[in-house]
Chain A
Amino acid sequence: MSDSLSKLEKRTAYTLVLPAVLLVFAIVLFPIFANVWISFKDIELKDIRIPEPRAKKIVKSISENQSELKIIYKLRNSSLIQEIKNVQFQDRFPKNISPINLDPRCNFQSRKVICDFGNWQAKYRENFEITIQNNNGEIIDKKIIKSQKPILSGKADNPLLTTNFTLENFKKVFYQNNFVELLLTTFYFTFFGTIGAIIFGILAAQLVNQNIQGRTYMRGILLFPYVGPVVALAYTWTLLLDPNSGTLNALLVNFNIIDQPINLLGQKYITMSVLGFEFKLRLALTTVIFFEIWRYFPLAFLFILARLQAIPQILYEAAEVDGASPIQKFVHITLPQITAIISILFMIRFIWNFNKFEDIFLLTGGASGTRTLPISVYQQGFAVSDIGMGSAVSIVIVMLLLSFMVIYFRLIGKRANEV
């Protein structure tokens, strides 16, 4: 290919790719890096607005004489942590009206009061007063005065862009709020959710792969939990599991399977005794894991089914001739054929369960021992409104994710070499 043609091809390619790449950069990649920045800053939800000078105007009569009025401006710095530099103030007045005893910071010219207030510290407040009079001695209309809004301007740094950094957020993440329990909960949830979804996926795929009537319908139905909106499904489950009037508890009590309703989503532990051994089960966490399995086993099912249908039938026929039992067929033919897809599924589901937010948030809000890392991002960032700390938790998530990916690709790489 000639040089000019390949240049043209490159230019075309960049024009085609660039819009998509830029958008993904701005909305996906940039925030991941921005997290690093924010996580080193002591910043709260209320600080994210750029500080601005504000004024509230109050107009008062001062005497019987309606030709004089007092105006009070309640001035303040909207930020509690940042200074505003070089604040300028300006207000307009109607014809024939002029101020008396004007503040030395201000001057009056061409019907405007212009003041230079200098720098305002964080939390700065002042009641600034101007007395005005009508030069003709006529009555001043309060409404007209009131309707004119003062204009303020000032220079303030964007609190996100200042360069004071702190390690406080990470210290808080690791030493406060029981970080070890947070990690353990996340891992329980992720691991058992993943394993459960895969096991049920294998079972369901094995079922649908047989020659049964209506298997296409069955495949459709099995995917319902996955395609349904999480909000609707989570609230349905909450109703179903409700201890007071939920269907499940009512049924169990009705058929004398349990004596008392169990608060499946609101109780942290339940003591179980199996063969004389008593142990404590994380009840709410287990329930949430079951919801997770219910919602995501369809995905595992879909993949494994696709793989199962690709296994040549002749393998099974040969095994039949050799007199293999159904279990032997499953162990020696089916299982080896699906291990590859299962390991991929394991990674995908592991990563996605690790990141899962909506399901837990809607079912328990992270209460009763179901607080995982993503829930913690939300709680720190928005419930406690500590944006910096929420970002620090996000960074922990990203670091863990990256290490999972590295480990996984190492393992898969090794396996590929062995084969």
Chain B
Amino acid sequence: MKFKSLAIYLIISSFFLTCILSIWKIMATLQGLSFTNLNVTTVFLNGILLSLAFVLVGNKINHLIKIFSLSFIFSILYFYLNEASPYWYIFGVFLITLFFTNKLKKYSVQSLKEDFISEKIIFDFITLFGIVFFAFVILFPFYIMLVTSFKTQIALLVNPLDFSLNFTKNLTELFKSYFVIFETYNFGRYILISSAVSIGTVIVTLLFAIPAAYAVARLNFFGKNFLSTSILIIYMFPAIVLVIPLYTVFSQLGLRNSIFGLLIVYTATTLPVAIYMLQGYFKSIPKEIEDAGIMDGQNWFGIILKIIIPLSLPAITSVALYVFMIAWNEFLFSLMFLDSPKSFTLSRAIQYLSGDAETPRQYLMAGSVIVTLPILFIFIYFEKYLVSGLTAGSVKE
């Protein structure tokens, strides 16, 4: 039993170390270091030695001294066994090993005898591995997007692995792609259009949704149940089946290439989810507060304006942010309805740019950064509200 858990401990922990060091090596390669071998086997065997040494040393020396000395020895070994590498890279290896040995803290010869220890080891390291894996897989494309926008097409064709940035160059040189897409490709205009459409959609959606949600939440009328169930079914129906009829009708009415047309469509497609989210919140407001308002002689308009809206600001914020996100990111309708560069939204403009095979990729990525950054900032800043919006509105995307 003890031998089995020791073996599992060594293999799993060393596998984890190998993974992080490989990711570190990949990131270093992207900074222009010419590594050509991941040295997986060597790192793995060294990792096993390191983990073994860790449990064997046990509590004989202070934990801090132990992890520093073990990591130091490991890094020296790594330095000699690896291809020629600069000191900053080895220092990174040292820090990673330090982090790793610190995580080994709870394992000792003693603890390896506990019940279910092998399962616990697997769970622990899968958790660690999972965090590193998910963070890497998610952030890597964003990193590539950002860095590509600062490089040039030629440099990337010469060495597709060199993403190092030269900050000693002057800033205009570094931000050249951004200047170009604003000056030659009119991105300033597209930012304005996208903002106008998105904010407009939020306002109009709220104007329609708040009264409707109030009626569904509070008032009795014929067809109310039918309405609230059909809301759910309606937003299961996808944009792609609406596209052809809307395209034909909008063409005949001259609403294509108009921001107004886009705004109507965005509002209508986000309305069901907005009503659904708001009515849920309105129901949770105590009815007594409204009764007091009715006593004061308020009509429904006054009640909504003076009682309901101030009390449900958090929910309204959630809905507003969620609708903004949908409108800002929307692509299908802007592809269908907008043909003229005069009325492009950001998403459509980037797609239009990519249609020309001659467009250097750094411009495409600069455009992508411009469309992504605002939404990520809003998300990070208002995470709490957006998460509740996403959860409630998940039926729609």
Interface residues of A (CB under 8 A from B): 6, 9-10, 12-17, 19-21, 23-24, 26-32, 34-35, 38, 48-50, 158, 160, 203-204, 206-207, 210, 212, 218-233, 235-237, 239-240, 245-247, 250-251, 254-256, 294, 299, 302-303, 306, 323, 325-327, 348, 351-352, 355, 357-358, 362, 374, 377-378, 381-382, 387, 390-391, 394, 397-398, 401, 405
Extra 18 A-B pairs, beta carbons < 8 Å, given A160-B252, A220-B379, A355-B240:
A6-B220, A9-B221, A10-B222, A20-B271, A27-B264, A212-B127, A224-B142, A227-B376, A229-B329, A230-B329, A231-B371, A247-B30, A247-B160, A294-B138, A327-B119, A351-B236, A362-B331, A387-B244
Query: 7 interchain pairs (CB within 8 A)?
Result: A12-B219, A13-B220, A20-B271, A23-B267, A32-B242, A49-B251, A222-B134
B135 touching A218, Cβ below 8 Å:
yes
Q: Which of the residues B163, B275, B332, B380 comes within 8 Å of A357, measured between beta carbons?
A: B332
In the bound complex, CA of A50 to CA of B116 (Å): 76
Given A48-B248, A207-B130, residue A394 in contact with residue B368 (CB < 8 A): no
Q: Which of the residues B131, B161, B220, B375 comes within 8 Å of A251, measured between beta carbons?
A: B161
What chain B residues lie within 8 Å of A30 (beta carbons)?
Answer: 245
Which residues from 363 to 393 on chain B have a C-beta closer than 8 Å to any C-beta of chain A?
A: 364-365, 367-369, 371-372, 375-376, 379-380, 383, 386-387, 390-391
Interface size class of B (residues with CB under 8 A): 35 or more
A31 touching B212, Cβ below 8 Å:
no
A16 touching B211, Cβ below 8 Å:
yes
What chain A residues lie within 8 Å of B141 (beta carbons)?
Answer: 233, 236-237, 240
B240 touching A302, Cβ below 8 Å:
no
Residue of A206, A233, A387 with most partner-chain B CB within 10 A: A233
In the bound complex, CA of A48 to CA of B379 (Å): 42
B269 touching A28, Cβ below 8 Å:
yes
A218 touching B131, Cβ below 8 Å:
yes
In the bound complex, CA of A203 to CA of B126 (Å): 10
What chain B residues lie within 8 Å of A325 (beta carbons)?
Answer: 115-116, 119
Closest chain B residue to A203 by CB distance?
Answer: B130
A228 touching B375, Cβ below 8 Å:
yes
Q: Which of the residues B38, B161, B240 comes within 8 Å of A394, measured between beta carbons?
A: B240
Closest chain A residue to B212 by CB distance?
Answer: A20
Closest chain A residue to B120 by CB distance?
Answer: A326
Q: Which of the residues A6, A13, A220, A231 comes within 8 Å of B331, measured between beta carbons?
A: A231
What chain B residues lie within 8 Å of A212 (beta carbons)?
Answer: 127, 131
Interface residues of B (CB under 8 A from A): 26, 29-30, 35-38, 115-116, 119-120, 123, 127, 130-131, 134-135, 137-139, 141-142, 144-145, 148, 156-157, 160-161, 163, 208-209, 211-212, 214-216, 219-222, 224, 227, 233-234, 236-249, 251-252, 264-265, 267-269, 271-272, 275, 300, 325, 328-329, 331-332, 336, 346-347, 350-351, 354, 361, 364-365, 367-369, 371-372, 375-376, 379-380, 383, 386-387, 390-391, 394-395, 397
Give the distance to chain B from A25, nearest Cβ to Cβ, in Å.
9
Give the distance to chain A from B141, nearest Cβ to Cβ, in Å.
5
Give the distance to chain A from B291, nearest Cβ to Cβ, in Å.
13
Give the distance to chain A from B309, nearest Cβ to Cβ, in Å.
14
Give the distance to chain B from A405, nearest Cβ to Cβ, in Å.
7
Give the distance to chain B from A299, nearest Cβ to Cβ, in Å.
6
A254 touching B390, Cβ below 8 Å:
no
A231 touching B350, Cβ below 8 Å:
yes
Given A20-B275, A256-B37, A401-B236, residue A230 in contact with residue B268 (CB < 8 A): no
What chain B residues lie within 8 Å of A10 (beta carbons)?
Answer: 219-222
A24 touching B234, Cβ below 8 Å:
yes
Give the distance to chain A from B46, nearest Cβ to Cβ, in Å.
18
A232 touching B369, Cβ below 8 Å:
yes
A31 touching B246, Cβ below 8 Å:
yes
What chain A residues lie within 8 Å of B123 (beta carbons)?
Answer: 326
A235 touching B368, Cβ below 8 Å:
yes
Closest chain B residue to A397 by CB distance?
Answer: B241
Give the distance to chain A from B129, nearest Cβ to Cβ, in Å.
9
A32 touching B237, Cβ below 8 Å:
yes
In the bound complex, CA of A16 to CA of B224 (Å): 12
What chain A residues lie within 8 Å of B367 (beta carbons)?
Answer: 232
Closest chain A residue to B390 by CB distance?
Answer: A302
Q: Which of the residues B138, B269, B365, B387 comes within 8 Å of A224, measured between beta carbons?
A: B138
Closest chain A residue to B115 by CB distance?
Answer: A323
- Tell me the dominant secondary structure on chain B's binding face: helix
A19 touching B233, Cβ below 8 Å:
no
Give the distance to chain A from B23, nearest Cβ to Cβ, in Å.
11
In the bound complex, CA of A351 to CA of B135 (Å): 28
What chain A residues lie within 8 Å of B347 (beta carbons)?
Answer: 229-231
Give the distance to chain A from B194, nearest Cβ to Cβ, in Å.
10
What chain B residues lie within 8 Å of A377 (beta carbons)?
Answer: 240-241, 243-244
What chain B residues lie within 8 Å of A245 (beta carbons)?
Answer: 156-157, 160
B368 touching A29, Cβ below 8 Å:
no
Give the distance to chain B from A296, nearest Cβ to Cβ, in Å.
8
Given A221-B138, A228-B372, A357-B240, residue A235 in contact with residue B268 (CB < 8 A): no
In the bound complex, CA of A227 to CA of B380 (Å): 10
A239 touching B361, Cβ below 8 Å:
yes
Q: Which of the residues A14, A21, A221, A352 comes within 8 Å of B135, measured between beta carbons?
A: A221
Q: Which of the residues A21, A28, A225, A390 comes within 8 Å of B212, measured between beta carbons?
A: A21
What chain B residues lie within 8 Å of A381 (beta carbons)?
Answer: 243-244, 247
Given A23-B267, A232-B145, residue A391 in contact with residue B331 (CB < 8 A): no
In the bound complex, CA of A233 to CA of B365 (Å): 10
In the bound complex, CA of A28 to CA of B241 (Å): 9
B212 touching A17, Cβ below 8 Å:
yes
Given A325-B116, A362-B351, residue A19 in contact with residue B252 (CB < 8 A): no
Closest chain A residue to B349 by CB distance?
Answer: A231
What chain B residues lie within 8 Å of A17 (beta carbons)?
Answer: 211-212, 215-216, 221, 227
What chain A residues lie within 8 Å of B268 (beta carbons)?
Answer: 23-24, 26-28
What chain A residues lie within 8 Å of B336 (beta carbons)?
Answer: 382
A27 touching B233, Cβ below 8 Å:
no
Give the distance to chain B from A164, nearest Cβ to Cβ, in Å.
17
B36 touching A256, Cβ below 8 Å:
yes
In the bound complex, CA of A207 to CA of B264 (Å): 41
What chain B residues lie within 8 Å of A207 (beta carbons)?
Answer: 127, 130-131, 134
Given A20-B271, A236-B144, A247-B160, residue A231 in contact with residue B241 (CB < 8 A): no
Q: Which of the residues B29, B134, B221, B252 comes within 8 Å of A14, measured between beta carbons?
A: B221
Give the distance to chain B from A295, nearest Cβ to Cβ, in Å.
10
Residue of B29, B222, B331 with most partner-chain A CB within 10 A: B331
In the bound complex, CA of A254 to CA of B248 (Å): 51
Q: Which of the residues A20, A233, A390, A398 comes within 8 Å of B209, measured between beta carbons?
A: A20
Sorted nearest first, the 7 A-B pairs with minimum C-beta distance are A355-B238, A27-B268, A232-B368, A34-B245, A31-B245, A13-B221, A16-B211
What chain B residues lie within 8 Å of A239 (beta carbons)?
Answer: 144, 148, 361, 364-365
A221 touching B139, Cβ below 8 Å:
yes
Residue of A227, A233, A327 with most partner-chain B CB within 10 A: A227
In the bound complex, CA of A224 to CA of B142 (Å): 9
In the bound complex, CA of A388 to CA of B123 (Å): 56
Residue of B145, B325, B365 with most partner-chain A CB within 10 A: B145
B120 touching A9, Cβ below 8 Å:
no
Given A23-B268, A160-B248, A210-B127, residue A326 in contact with residue B116 (CB < 8 A): yes
Residue of B141, B244, B369, B395 with most partner-chain A CB within 10 A: B244
